[in-house]
Amino acid sequence: MNLSGVLFFPVTPFDSEGALAADVLAEHIGRGLEHGPGGVFVACGTGEFSALSQAEHARAVEVAVKTVQGAVPVLAGAGGPLGAALEQARAARAAGADGLLLMPPYLMLGSRAGFAEYVRAIAAELPVVVYQRGALVLEPDAVVELARIPGVVGLKDGLGDIDRFQRTVLAVRREVGPDFTFFNGLPTAELTMPAYRGLGVELYSSAVFAFAPEIATAYFNGGELSERLLAEFYAPLVELRGKGPGYAVALVKAGLRLRGLDVGPVRAPLSDLTPEHEAELRALIERGLALVSA
């Protein structure tokens, strides 16, 4: 799968009635496409995957595929109970999605062999990028085993265990080959990209791209400005993210609202930013945009 550049994870907008706002989602994705992302990941973590009904999930994927029109790959979130994950995968395939980001199963991970069968069943529907985070902690030889399953094309790392991830990359490159895709999936991934680049991993998901693509693109382009953005924008953003549970998503939606796109609130059990924290975010966005435009 040809993923490159900054990976765009759109939010899922909700209207005043709390329903999925398909027109706003299309506008959100369209705005992002103007800044050249290397892939669109819809109804994933930033898109509040765990809060969507199956019908909402399917509709979000349809909107994304229709909006992108083949310009870049579109991947949809899938996961949870096997039956639900298969429904999501089949709906995504019917909509024309290019692949899936496979979220870890909740509560019941089972054995290593059991997880491999779970992945195998879903990868039979669409190409799969496995998302390693939370309770799903994979040893390098387990990733090699998964990488050999037809349809498993990549691993997104949400753990940040550099030692383990380095050994994983080396093992997969040695045993499977160079075409398997790795990317950094930590929240506010830009802050940790210097470490991941040291492992030979260039791809990353960018939450900032969803609400400030100018800043995310400027960071991606490198140079002295990237260093200033890390120190003056990204590091303070990570500190702000840590001030409330669920802020990894709530910050993105607040950022979009501050920039003029009404994507609605986050869904329970997440909570929106406090007014104080929203004011901090506004100042950070202004600072980041000023650096980019200087």
Residues annotated as catalytic (active site), given as ranges = 131, 156
Helix 112-123 and helix 82-95, axial crossing angle in degrees, nearest 10: 20
Q: Tokens in use for 117?
A: 């069968």
How far are the Cα atoms of 12, 82, 134, 176, 232 from residue 192, in angstroms, in the given order?
26, 32, 18, 26, 15
- Alpha-carbon gap, residue 28 to 26, rounded angstroms: 5
- Alpha-carbon gap, residue 96 to 88, rounded angstroms: 12
Distance of CA 223 to the CA centre of its chain: 25
Q: Tokens in use for 239?
A: 């500190």
The answer to whether residues 88 and 77 touch, using CB atoms and an 8 Å cutoff, is yes
Name the DSSP class of 232: I
Contacts (Cβ under 8 Å, ≥6 apart) of 84: 54
For 76, phi then psi, to 5°, come to -110, 150
Name the DSSP class of 44: S
Judged by DSSP in three states, 115 sits in: helix
Residue 90 exposed, middle or buried by CB count within 10 Å (0-12, 13-18, 19+): middle
For 184, phi then psi, to 5°, come to -80, 120
Q: What is the DSSP string of 149-211?
A: STTEEEEEE-S--HHHHHHHHHHHHHHT-TTSEEEE-STTGGGGHHHHHHTT--EEEEHHHHH
